[in-house]
Amino acid sequence: MKSIMILGRTLVILLVFIKGITSDSHEEELLERCSLIVSADLSIMNSVNKTFVDMRKQLSNAHFVTTYETNVFGMAQCRNYLSTADCLACFDAGVTQIRRKCDPAAVGIHFIYQGCFIRHGIRNFYKQITMESPVLNCSYNHSVAEPGAFGQIVQGLLTEMVAATPKMKNYFAAAKRQVLSNGTTPTVYAVAQCVETVSQSDCGSCLTQIYTRLKTCLPQPGGTCVEAGCFLRYSDSSFFADSNITNITPYKGGGNT
């Protein structure tokens, strides 16, 4: 690999901790990270551009993709409940932001949205599950009617999903559960997901770590926590269709399935 010119600090990390979700937009930004290490080798820039093109092409047929161009590793993932059109829209919005905010010759980027993430780098990060700090996003836009009952149901559902997701196809689970209180039946919606290049045990470890953070959002009506290798979200508002719900029941117990 040719020489690399370093500008300022090794990395600039911009973590966005949003205390109030204003919408369920798939393109709501959770994290942006641009490396300040800028390559003096023009081939890196060319490889980055090819990586974006290849990832977008693959996302037309999949929700998780990896790619490798000369000296550049790429990875992108959409939440499995997104349609192909919404997945590509999230990816395109991310690439637009990356091109606006990052040097085109930056040797690494990591942008995460509610609906997808995009990452590239000159080192292989496919097995990485942790960052310097997870991103925690809690919703404060309204209050739940029965905080105690709501929190209990959320924690029970998320605990089951953390146990089930590593054993499920594509490391993805979506579920909902009703909260019975004072004659009302609000519903909790939740999604768990890991990147598909990590091991089952690392997926479980990653989800366990972010669940510990995410439950601090309770009794707020929604929250998201994200690490390099996994994603966990709950909300009292639907952000996926019932047709996306997965059956976690056979996978909730211990052991492999």
The pLDDT of residue 40 is 87
The pLDDT of residue 125 is 97
Cα–Cα distance measured from residue 221 to residue 150, given in angstroms and rounded to the nearest whole number: 8
| β-bridge mates for residue 178, sequence order | 187
Residues 46, 146 share a domain:
no
Print burial letters for 25-50: b (CB count within 10 Å at least 16), e (below 16): ebbbbbbbbbbbbbbebeebbebbeb
Asked if residue 37 lies in contact with residue 10, where contact means CB atoms within 8 angstroms, the answer is: yes
pLDDT tens digits, 180-228: 766 666 899 999 999 999 999 999 999 999 999 999 999 999 999 999 9
Residue 229 domain-assigned? yes
Residues 191, 109 share a domain:
no
Q: Which of 62, 92, 121 is the last residue of a domain?
A: 121
Residue 126 domain-assigned? no
Strand 116-121 vs strand 108-113: parallel, antiparallel, or unpaired?
antiparallel
Cα–Cα distance measured from residue 217 to residue 223, given in angstroms and rounded to the nearest whole number: 6
Q: Model pTM?
A: 0.88
Residues 108, 38 share a domain:
yes
Q: Which of 120, 47, 60 is nearest to 89 (CA)?
A: 60
The 10 Å Cβ neighbour count of residue 123 is 11
Cα–Cα distance measured from residue 243 to residue 241, given in angstroms and rounded to the nearest whole number: 5
Q: What is the mean pLDDT of the chain?
A: 88
Residues 150, 111 share a domain:
no
The pLDDT of residue 1 is 40
The enclosing domain of 38 has a CATH number of 3.30.430.20
Number of domains in the chain: 2
Residue 257 domain-assigned? no
The pLDDT of residue 146 is 86
Residue 220 domain-assigned? yes
Residue 227 domain-assigned? yes
Range of the domain at 37: 4-121
The runs of H, that is alpha helices, within 60-171 are 84-101, 147-164
Cα–Cα distance measured from residue 167 to residue 176, given in angstroms and rounded to the nearest whole number: 19
pLDDT tens digits, 61-108: 999 999 999 999 999 999 999 999 999 999 999 999 999 999 999 999
DSSP 164-224: HGGGSGGGEEEEEEE--BTTB--EEEEEEEE-TTS-HHHHHHHHHHHHHHHGGGTTSSEEE
Asked if the model's pLDDT at residue 132 lies above 70, the reply is: yes
Residue 130 domain-assigned? no
